[in-house]
Structure 1
Amino acid sequence: MATEQVVRLTQQVKAGGCASKLPPGSLRAVLSNLPVQDDKNLLVGFETSDDAGIYQIAPNLALVQTVDFFTPLVDDPFTFGQIAATNALSDVYAMGGRPVSALALVCFPQSGDLGTLEEIMRGGLAQMTEAGCTVVGGHSVRDDEMKFGYAVTGTIDPAQVKTNARAVPGDELILTKAIGTGVITTALKQGKAEQAWVDAAVKSMTTLNRAAAEVAGRFGGVHAMTDITGFGLMGHGREMAVGSGVTLEIETASVPLIEGALDAVRAGAVPGGLLSNREFAECMVSDVEGAAFSDEVRMLMYDPQTSGGLLISVAAEQADELVESMRAAGVGAVRIGRVVSTSEGGNAAIVLK
């Protein structure tokens, strides 16, 4: 009797999820050479490497626009679609916006199983529906390596925009999801992952940042916000530090890790994106005197996250209430550090403790 051969999506691509993106240093080199756009309605562009663009269309209304797509990082097509949608929506939430509409982006092999593509798109649509975001169309091209994602448009009051460049010395840093999706999905691709690790990573990657963003939006002391995705905690932390002209102090022992993340690193499941992130950001990262943490933990600080959580810089007097409110809303928020002034004449930086 013939048996049906199961196709593993992760075996069809060289790198999965946000680990498949261009290295941050390469992208920065190109973007820094582009001309500055002169448009008074462009409130947030790509100059500060923020999560989404903000374009004002009326006195009290602006568009939040972003696009995100990548290769499979899990084997189940429906789950891949869910993760791709959640990740694309996250950029709108990170700016404090409300997603309204989306366009699907599909790259798929000419000879690929259309049933697989249908399941991917069903998973994405299910997640968009949960977010209250309407998929209005899309575009597809033939590609030997499948890729999927969305261009998402949201709305926001220009006065309520949360950027990654307004952190204030004295703020506390809050992280809303554990890290480790990059190394765990790499372990899955290499056949080294335990199912419990994969299940924990998938749960994280399919959890919308909507609740976290809605709670954060109720606190006037939230000064800056970004989501932790392909450039990892250090890469996105670097952008916040540079954009705000401050130093971030990160307590490594407080940074939550997904079950199996340390085991995946120890098993050698290190994505290329992690190494690129480290090359890009490590020049700004130093250890406080007497700091003691393992090399595996250090590596996870650079792990490329897919559909990661929000990093929030909030006034110290509101930090406890923000964390409590998030936990009441089902968000696993934790305090992981603080914002301090740069040393006199010094540059923005990150210090690991």
Structure 2
Amino acid sequence: MDLEGYAAHLIINNEKDAQAKLKEKIIEFKNKKIGDEEAEIFAAAVLKEAEAALAVKGDVFEYQKSGASMGEFGVGSRGAGDFYVHEKIGHVIGKTTAVLDSSNLDDSGVVTLEKDQDYLVVTVDGMHSRLSAFPFLAGFHVAKAALRDIYVMGAKPSAMLSDIHVADDGDTAMIFDHLAGIAAVSELSGIPLVTGSTLRIGGDMVIGERMTGCVGAVGAVNQNSLTARNKAAPGDLILMTEGTGGGTVTTAAIYSGYEKAAAVVDKTLNIDFLIAVQALLDSEEKWQTQIHVMTDVTNGGVRGDAYEISKEADVRLVFDDDALLQCVEPTVLEMFQTLEIDFRGVSIDSLLVICPPEIADPVIQTIKTAGVKMYVVGRVEEKQAGKFDTALIVGGVEKEFKPMFREAAYTPLKKAIGEKTPPDFDGMKKGIDAAADAAIEKKERIVKRIRNRKG
């Protein structure tokens, strides 16, 4: 529980007996591990700090509100709202000297190494927020995700780093279990975990046992081998490996109360994706130098990836639904079908490759030889007026294939919230636009102020 946020809410709303209410929450969440007098002192201190924070005014202390909360706008839910915010993130950061940066909506950032023909590839992935109670699984899947994002740029990962935050009442052993999950992927892949950070979420102000964190990774790639989403070209074929899922599939299995959850989770514990890409990098033909696009089917599922690739490369993508069905591991697919989860709109951790048709078969064979199944699932065309930019062929009929407002609902709570676009979405976007522009203006003011000090 965020005590500081709760205290600020009480103060702003002029709630009576604010200290008593706060004290009650502290005792409740601390599970009676704190005495009455100690809780009273604790509550008084929290209120004092919250009041002090609310009283501070000035440019660097305040930000322009958008009027749309993270949940309302679908941020982190891998749909239309989330994609829109990510575009705005690139807008706020602005154009950089990087080869690929946040504005490219790609899996990783890329910069040029000085006096070299190589690029440095950098990425970071947050752990699945619902796996807080399962630190090992959270660590395993976020480590795998970070390495995927390096590999799909055509790069070989060199090292990983981690960041772990555990709330005040979380057991310290959560750190070790989480790191064990990351280290398992490190050992299996041969990519070392070299550094990290460990903190409490919100310090003393957040009570409970919630854990969050991320894993970053770095790697290098020759300029001739870089694959990026904007390189997809008309005439290309779209290939996908069989996906077993990661954090999303694990979360769906656990929180849906699926009777075969243990079997599904066990299927996710592999590094097949990494093995598949490594096979391409190690091939005599160096297929990564001829492949146009590599990405992982994660954020928003293949629906989301199709949307982003189509937009970045200005091409039309057409998928075959029967072929996509082959790309979900049978045990995982059975769960999706039983729980009525649309696998096309969630992360299944497949490798998606877009390449010229003449190398499609040898690419598939190279990956098959490494022990991973791969199929042709679609094609790339020029955009055409009157046709969907992203399409799905179902029973011979072409249908629009675009992200929903949120990724496909894969837990009971997500199904309760739904996937529909809120009626005031356009109004929310205006608030988001204004807030992003205000952040840019603020950055420019502060940068100018700091530079002028040196004058």
Length-normalised TM-score, structure 1: 0.76
Letter in 2 for 1:196: A
Q: Is the 8 A contact 2:170 2:210 kept in 1?
A: no
SS in structure 1 of the partner of residue 298 of structure 2? coil
Specify the alignment match of 2:107 in structure 1: 51
CA-CA distance at 1:75 after TM superposition = 6.2
Specify the alignment match of 1:161 in structure 2: 226
CA-CA distance at 1:340 after TM superposition = 1.5
Specify the alignment match of 2:323 in structure 1: 254
Query: Matched residues in 2 for 1:47 and 1:69: separation?
Result: 19
Specify the alignment match of 2:308 in structure 1: 239
Going from structure 1 to structure 2, the CA distance change for 1:148 and 1:123 (only over 3 Å counts) comes to same
Specify the alignment match of 1:192 in structure 2: 258
Structure 1: any 5+ residue segments left out of the alignment? Answer: 1-14, 271-298
Q: Percent identity?
A: 23
Query: Matched residues in 2 for 1:258 and 1:187: separation?
Result: 14
Going from structure 1 to structure 2, the CA distance change for 1:183 and 1:89 (only over 3 Å counts) comes to closer
Query: Matched residues in 2 for 1:266 and 1:333: separation?
Result: 21
How do 1:201-350 and structure 2 match up within 5 A? Answer: 202-203=268-269, 206-217=270-281, 218-219=286-287, 220-255=289-324, 256-265=327-336, 267-268=338-339, 299-305=342-348, 308-344=349-385, 348-350=389-391
Specify the alignment match of 1:281 in structure 2: none
SS in structure 2 of the partner of residue 209 of structure 1? helix
CA offset digits 1:107-132 (Å, max 9, x no partner):
21222222232121022122123323
Going from structure 1 to structure 2, the CA distance change for 1:25 and 1:78 (only over 3 Å counts) comes to closer
Higher-Rg structure is: 2
**CA RMSD, aligned part only?**
2.7
CA-CA distance at 1:63 after TM superposition = 0.8
Q: Displaced runs of 4+ in structure 1, greater than 6 A?
A: none
Query: Matched residues in 2 for 1:22 and 1:342: separation?
Result: 24
Going from structure 1 to structure 2, the CA distance change for 1:260 and 1:132 (only over 3 Å counts) comes to closer
CA-CA distance at 1:323 after TM superposition = 0.5
User: Which of the pair has the greater relative contact order for Cα pairs under 8 Å at 6+ separation?
Assistant: 1
Letter in 1 for 2:329: I
CA offset digits 1:132-166 (Å, max 9, x no partner):
32222212231352123311111111221111111
Specify the alignment match of 2:163 in structure 1: 105
Query: Matched residues in 2 for 1:320 and 1:350: separation?
Result: 23
Greater fraction helix: 2
Length-normalised TM-score, structure 2: 0.60
Query: Matched residues in 2 for 1:22 and 1:252: separation?
Result: 21
Query: Matched residues in 2 for 1:136 and 1:199: separation?
Result: 27
Going from structure 1 to structure 2, the CA distance change for 1:32 and 1:66 (only over 3 Å counts) comes to closer
SS in structure 2 of the partner of residue 33 of structure 1? helix
SS in structure 1 of the partner of residue 392 of structure 2? strand
CA-CA distance at 1:269 after TM superposition = 6.7
Aligned length: 301
Letter in 1 for 2:296: D
Query: Matched residues in 1 for 2:189 and 2:250: separation?
Result: 26
